[in-house]
């Protein structure tokens, strides 16, 4: 057995520590911060039907109308998967028109104020609450990892002979330097807010806000989907307790 000198042990420890630091820098990071609030004393079990409005993307720049449509589709896919009855704005409008024997879409063109009053008065007969989601942040930042040298390990075959003249071979780890060129890492910062309102009073009963920062996030849609899914799930859980 070959003894390792204390100085060599210290050197190996330094190499391992350096490798771990570089690994975490180059493989990217992710952080998330979630805030939630619910109206105390509100009977969330009474919420069985939920009107969900389209995703509000007015605060962000998604580069193209195609990108916005893709995010809207992803948003609605998650909204409709929840264990609660979800109505779109148009479906709610159709039901209000049937209940009032009047086409609310036509009324909006002729008399917007009357249409709004009709909507507010009849909506509680159609749904228990309504939800709005705002896409508040979709921004990229970057940082540069300077060019540097990393120590790698390779195994070198060694041949030796014992005292009896017998030939032996083994693999010995060997450290060697490798040049790593400069690298730019892009981080996507996203913020999504979700608010739910009581249909009768119009008062906010639930709010959730999530901020996320992720490296190598691409267009961010996959992470956005997770935020939307968790936003709806957290609210629906309160309605099922």
Count of residues for the chain?
241
Full domain range(s) for residue 42: 30-143+183-240
Tell me, yes or no, whether 233 lies in a domain: yes
Tell me, yes or no, whether 157 lies in a domain: no
Per-residue pLDDT, averaged over 233-239, amounts to 95
Coil, strand or helix at 20 = helix
Tell me, yes or no, whether 160 lies in a domain: no
Tell me, yes or no, whether 174 lies in a domain: no
Residues β-bridged to residue 132: 195
Tell me, yes or no, whether 25 lies in a domain: no
pLDDT digits (tens, 9 = 90+) for 9-25: 445 444 444 444 444 44
CATH of residue 95's domain is 3.40.50
pLDDT-based confidence at 151, cuts 50/70/90? very high
Cα(186)–Cα(69) distance, integer angstroms:
24
Could you give the angle at the alpha carbon of 178 between the alpha carbons of 174 and 179, nearest 5°? Answer: 165
Tell me, yes or no, whether 132 lies in a domain: yes
Tell me, yes or no, whether 131 lies in a domain: yes
Tell me, yes or no, whether 190 lies in a domain: yes
Give me the chain's average pLDDT, please.
88
Coil, strand or helix at 52 = strand
Packing angle of the helix pair 112-122, 89-100 (nearest 10 deg): 90
Contacts of 148 (CB under 8 A, 6+ apart): 22, 180
Q: How many domains does the chain have?
A: 1
pLDDT digits (tens, 9 = 90+) for 105-132: 999 999 999 999 999 999 999 999 999 9
């Amino acid at each position: 057995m070959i003894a390792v000198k204390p100085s060599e042990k210290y050197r190996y420890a330094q190499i391992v520590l350096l490798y771990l630091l570089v690994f975490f820098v180059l493989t990217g990071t992710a952080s998330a911060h979630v805030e939630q609030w619910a109206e105390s004393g509100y009977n969330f079990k009474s919420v069985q039907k939920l009107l969900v409005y389209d995703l509000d993307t007015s605060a962000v720049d998604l580069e193209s109308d195609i990108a916005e449509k893709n995010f809207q589709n992803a948003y609605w896919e998650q909204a409709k998967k929840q264990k609660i009855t979800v109505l779109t704005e148009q479906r709610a409008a159709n039901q209000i028109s049937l209940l009032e024997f009047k086409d609310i879409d036509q009324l909006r063109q002729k008399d917007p104020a009357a249409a709004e009053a009709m909507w507010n008065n009849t909506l509680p007969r159609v749904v228990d609450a309504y939800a709005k989601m705002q896409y508040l942040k979709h921004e990229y930042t970057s940082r540069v990892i300077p060019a540097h040298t990393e120590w790698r390990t390779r195994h070198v075959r060694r041949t030796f002979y014992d005292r009896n003249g017998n030939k032996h071979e083994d693999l010995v780890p060997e450290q060697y330097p490798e040049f790593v060129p400069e690298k730019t890492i892009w981080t996507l910062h996203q913020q999504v807010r979700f608010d739910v309102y009581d249909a009768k009073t119009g008062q906010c009963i639930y709010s959730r806000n999530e901020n996320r920062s992720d490296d190598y996030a691409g267009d961010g849609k996959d992470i956005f989907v997770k935020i939307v899914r968790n936003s709806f799930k957290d609210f629906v859980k309160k309605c099922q307790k």
